[in-house]
Each structure stands twice: as structure tokens, then as C-alpha cells.
Amino acid sequence: MRLPFAGQPQETRFFLLICGWAGALGIIYWFVSHEVAGTALLAGLALASGAISAWLIRARRLAAKRQPTPSGIADLATDRTDASGGGTAGVDRPFLDESGRLPDPTLAPFAVGLGVALVVLGPVFGVAPVAVGAVSLLWGASLWLRAARDELDAQEPGHDERRR
């Protein structure tokens, strides 16, 4: 007998497995312990995993309607039926073309990290760390967003126009 989800990608089956596991365990747990909090947590895990599975199944159906799998990627992994071609249907194709990007060095992560760490201290240690942290956070975020925007513009010359 063929299971209804046997043809699904491994990612989907992975989440379905978690969903089934947490659901079954939640039922057993309830009848053994009659304890609400643990049952609710297990039920939550089952629901969250089930929701992700449902989303993946739906996305796959929609993608199949829109376009077939790029043959160049599928051909590289045809000797096993479970070989998806890497990634999510070839979202990242680092060695089939050279268009991927590596970001420039930037101070933004350090500045944002410093900002977040200082702002978290604020409620206990007063306004001073929040003020310094906010400046660092905003400056870092500004650098971060500019870097991302500039890279996008440099990669796609028309992007800037479209954005406007």
C-alpha cells in the first residue's frame, strides 16, 4: 500500500513525521498524566509541524502548476528518486552559473549587535545604555540596509528604477 504522502519531498515528510510524533505522544501523555501544559505544548508542536507540512504541500502543487523542474538541475541528480537537485528545487545554483553574490565586509553586524546588547540592558541599568545602544543600532541598521540595497542595485541594474 502506498502512503498518501510517499511522493512528497523529504522536507515535507520530515515535518509530517514530527507532526505525527508529537500528536501521538500528546494523546498518550494526556491519558497518562492528565496534565494540561505538557499536552498543550505537544499539541502545539503537532499543529505547527502540520501547518508547515501543509504549506510545503500546497507550495509544491502551486509550483508544479507554474513551471516544470529546470532540467539542468534535475539531470544532475537522477540516480535516486529522492534526489531533489539540491536546495528547494534549485533556488540556489552556485555551480551552474556565476551570478551568486558574496557581500562586502561591513561594520553593520557589529554595530547592530552592540546596539541590541546595550538596549537589552536598559530596563535594568537605566537610560544611558539604551541611548548609546539606540545610536549604534540605528547606525548599524542604516549601514546594513544600504549595503543590501546597493548590492541589489549592482546585481540588477534595472532594480533601482523599478524600486522608484
C-beta of 4: minimal distance to another protein in Å?
20
What grid cell was written down for 90?
A: 534549485
| Per-residue binding letters, 38-77, with another protein (x by CB under 8 A) | ---xx--x---------------------------x--xx
Helix, strand or coil, per DSSP, at residue 3: coil
| Per-residue binding letters, 10-29, with another protein (x by CB under 8 A) | xx--x--xx--xx--x--xx
- Considering the rule CB under 8 A, would residue 127 count as an interface residue with another protein? no
Q: Spell out the SS3 assignment of 42-92.
A: HHHHHHHHHHHHHHHHHHHHHHHHHCCCCHHHHHHHCCCCCCCCCCCCCCC
Residues 6+ apart with CB under 8 A from 76: 85, 86
Contacts with another protein by CB under 8 A lie at: 10-11, 14, 17-18, 21-22, 25, 28-29, 32-33, 35, 37, 41-42, 45, 73, 76-77, 79-80, 82-88, 90-96, 98, 100-110, 112-114, 116-117, 120-121, 123-124, 139, 142-144, 146-148, 150-151, 153-155
